[in-house]
Chain A
Amino acid sequence: MLLDRVNRSFGDRPAVADLTFGAPAGAITAMLGPNGAGKTTALRLITGALDPDGGTVRVFGLDPGRPADGEAVRARCGVVTAKPSLYDRLSGLDNLRYAAELYGLGRGADVDHRLRAAAAQFGIDEALSQAVGGYSTGMKTRLALARAVAHDPELLLLDEPTSGLDPESAAAVLDLVRAMTRSGRTVLLCTHLLAEADGLADEVVVLERGTAVATGAPAALAAGFWPHPQVRIQAERPTDLDRLATWPGVVGYRREQEQAVVDLDDAARVADLIMGLSRDGVRLVAVEPHRPTLEDLYFAIQASRRAVPPVPHLPADGPAPYTPPAPAPAAAVPADRPVEVGR
């Protein structure tokens, strides 16, 4: 799936502008960005629900904007929209049957069995006979997920799929997303919950005002901002740590109040530092190797974008990892809570 310099405006307002990124087959690509960044529009362009004003969209090698191609693309996609898009007056099973018929599965006992199995994956099979109007938000989301996977799509497009779900259900959904890529499917996940994408995404696309400001594997992007292994050390007397600035292998040192942030030429140096400090009688409180989270990365990208003029164009020959202009410190946001960007 590839978008190349795609534009789409609504009136005078550009929703996506020169948007370029791809989603590798069999991987999870997370599209990150605040509300209004263009994630939903991008998703609609991918299925051909919207036509681009300009640029190229290719899915399975087809142009979803062409009627014949679009039908073929949509039949191979499963979509979960931000709102569940269910028919309240129909039962859960009738909602699934409707989708099954439109996606070419047909009708009958075999299809019903398949639909019930899809519903069971999300723990909603017990409620299939009830009218959807009586469902809770979480139940609706789970039914929408079951509907999206029932026809065994090759490309799964998820727009805020855990919105309204309790933590347990959200975790189950993310586990299922992982399982789907293990069986060869491609997943594009739109979210503003960075914690949701962390550890799940093989690739990330950071959107801002309809443009991809960074694309690539999280590790590769992180390496651009944190090129050296980093360790954060706390001691009973923080000033005792200042000696590290001149030690062999230390390529960067700064002290932030109670802790020292030390950049090393090699992660294996951490043991040497601890031994050296102990030998000098420095009483250590904490030693924490820093592994940048997606959240750190996101805020680092945002910080770098504020510091320099925007990158005018991504390479014309396809998506490529964004190379940041200069290393930036990670944002000081507690890592144990999800960050809702833009809220």
Chain B
Amino acid sequence: MTAVTAGDGTGAAGVARRAGRRGDRTPLRWGRVLTVARTDLRQLAQARDFWLPMTFLGALFYAIVPAVLLTTIGRIGSVEVIARVSSALEMLPEAARTQIRGDSAAGQTGYALAVFLFAPMAVIVPLTISTAVGAATLVGERERGTGEFLAHSPAAAREIYLGKLIASLVPGYATVAVGFGVYSLIVNVTVGPEVGGWFFPTAQWWIMILWVLPPFLAICLSLVLRLSARVSSTAAAQQASGLVSLPLIGIAYSQATGVLMGAGWLPLWLGAGAWAVALVSLARGMRAVTRSRLLGVGPGL
């Protein structure tokens, strides 16, 4: 029986009651989680105004820029530019320098660019895409009025949260998967002949893509979804999530570089640390989605 405690819905009594209910957990139904995710992705697929620019962004970072740069380096031979880049390679850590393959300056330069210096694109593109999707996802439901449908549905708030998380994560990570494949093809075709055959992806790249990037995506999305649940408009969500994701992109970039240039267990430890932070952040983010926020009547809305 519910206690009779008249008062403000956002006041101490209401908050205490709701907090007491948090312990009363229903089993998570993954079917519903996937339904929410699938429906969001289906809507995204219909939004050409969203995925066209994002496809261009992915193509630019994974295909156009690497293809142009690496082809140029391979074609122009040993000119002053390559000499300068080659001398810059001396600045790389010992662990990284020992990995560089190739006999010619052009080959070594191409190898270093392909393996070490294009690392940020593997981070920037998925984080940008997932942030853009995630920022609009919850506040968008509220703005369209569909949050009310979800609030009245049997789906638990955390099932909705996880569904939205997956729907935001998939476009970013799918871009990485496709982009990574295209990028691998390009670098192997352009630099491979100079370094004695196909060499990419390296072990560090596999670790970065499969072990380090996912937790950074999860951290970023947990913060962005929390923002999306709390702000009053999509524009505000985009703005705020930009502020959150930019430093995260910086951290992810530095970590990715560390993973690629590091040796031994370092990349694995970096990934493990990121996963630990991601799990805590996701658990906290789950509480941000409430039915009242889907209705647009939560605190601060």
Q: Is the CB of A87 within 8 A of B295?
A: no
Of A7, A85, A87, A94, which contacts B148 at CB under 8 A?
A85
Q: Is residue A269 contacting chain B, with contact meaning CB distance below 8 A? A: no
B152: which A residues are within 8 A, CB to CB? 44, 47, 49, 74, 77, 79, 81, 157
Q: Is residue A55 contacting chain B, with contact meaning CB distance below 8 A? A: yes
Q: Is residue B254 contacting chain A, with contact meaning CB distance below 8 A? A: no
User: Which residues of chain A in 1-47 are interfacial with respect to chain B, using CB atoms and an 8 Å cutoff?
Assistant: 5, 7-12, 18, 44, 47
Return A297 CB to nearest CB of chain B, in Å: 30
Q: Is residue A54 contacting chain B, with contact meaning CB distance below 8 A? A: yes
Q: Is the CB of A7 within 8 A of B6?
A: yes
Return B249 CB to nearest CB of chain A, in Å: 29
- Return the chain B residue nearest A133 by Cβ: B46
Q: Is the CB of B25 within 8 A of A54?
A: no
> 0/1 per residue, A59-99, Cβ < 8 Å to B?
00001011110011011010101011111111000100011
- Return the chain B residue nearest A81 by Cβ: B148
Q: Is the CB of B7 within 8 A of A53?
A: yes
Q: Is residue A50 contacting chain B, with contact meaning CB distance below 8 A? A: yes
Roughly how many angstroms separate A71 CA and B151 CA in the complex, as a whole number?
11
18 pairs, A vs B, C-beta closer than 8 Å: A10-B297, A11-B8, A49-B152, A50-B9, A51-B9, A51-B14, A51-B18, A51-B292, A54-B4, A54-B5, A55-B6, A67-B25, A67-B26, A85-B145, A85-B146, A89-B46, A90-B42, A102-B154
- Return the chain A residue nearest B1 by Cβ: A56
- Return the chain A residue nearest B291 by Cβ: A49
Of B7, B18, B39, B145, which contacts A7 at CB under 8 A?
B7
B13: which A residues are within 8 A, CB to CB? 53-54
Interface size of B by CB at 8 A reads 45
User: Which residues of chain B in 282-297 are interfacial with respect to chain A, using CB atoms and an 8 Å cutoff?
Assistant: 291-292, 294-295, 297
Q: Is the CB of B14 within 8 A of A53?
A: yes
Residue numbers of A with Cβ under 8 A of B are 5, 7-12, 18, 44, 47-57, 63, 65-68, 71-72, 74-75, 77, 79, 81, 83-90, 94, 98-99, 101-104, 131, 157
> 0/1 per residue, B143-185, Cβ < 8 Å to A?
0111111011111100000000000000000000000000000
Roughly how many angstroms separate A95 CA and B17 CA in the complex, as a whole number?
34
Roughly how many angstroms separate A84 CA and B291 CA in the complex, as a whole number?
18
Q: Is the CB of A89 within 8 A of B2?
A: no
Q: Is the CB of B35 within 8 A of A53?
A: no
With contacts A8-B9, A94-B42 taken as known, whether A86 is within 8 angstroms of B47 at the C-beta atoms is no
B151: which A residues are within 8 A, CB to CB? 44, 47, 49
A11: which B residues are within 8 A, CB to CB? 8, 10
Roughly how many angstroms separate A52 CA and B148 CA in the complex, as a whole number?
17
User: Which residues of chain B in 1-44 are interfacial with respect to chain A, using CB atoms and an 8 Å cutoff?
Assistant: 1-11, 13-14, 17-18, 21, 24-26, 31-32, 35-36, 39, 42-43
Of A12, A71, A131, which contacts B154 at CB under 8 A?
A71
Q: Is the CB of A54 within 8 A of B3?
A: yes
Q: Is the CB of A53 within 8 A of B8?
A: yes
B153: which A residues are within 8 A, CB to CB? 74, 99, 102-103
Roughly how many angstroms separate A70 CA and B9 CA in the complex, as a whole number?
18
B2: which A residues are within 8 A, CB to CB? 52, 54-57, 63, 65
Q: Is the CB of B154 within 8 A of A75?
A: yes
B155: which A residues are within 8 A, CB to CB? 102
Roughly how many angstroms separate A197 CA and B44 CA in the complex, as a whole number?
41
Of A57, A90, A157, which contacts B39 at CB under 8 A?
A90
Return A229 CB to nearest CB of chain B, in Å: 43
B156: which A residues are within 8 A, CB to CB? 67, 71
A51: which B residues are within 8 A, CB to CB? 9, 14, 17-18, 21, 292
Q: Is the CB of A90 within 8 A of B21?
A: no
With contacts A54-B13, A71-B154, A102-B155 taken as known, whether A85 is within 8 angstroms of B24 at the C-beta atoms is no
With contacts A86-B146, A87-B39 taken as known, whether A68 is within 8 angstroms of B26 at the C-beta atoms is yes
- Return the chain A residue nearest B23 by Cβ: A67
- Return the chain A residue nearest B18 by Cβ: A51
Of B8, B42, B292, which contacts A12 at CB under 8 A?
B8
- Return the chain A residue nearest B294 by Cβ: A49
**Other CB < 8 Å A-B pairs besides A55-B4, A83-B145, A102-B32, 14 of them?**
A10-B10, A44-B152, A49-B295, A51-B14, A52-B2, A56-B4, A65-B21, A67-B156, A71-B156, A74-B153, A74-B154, A81-B152, A90-B39, A102-B155
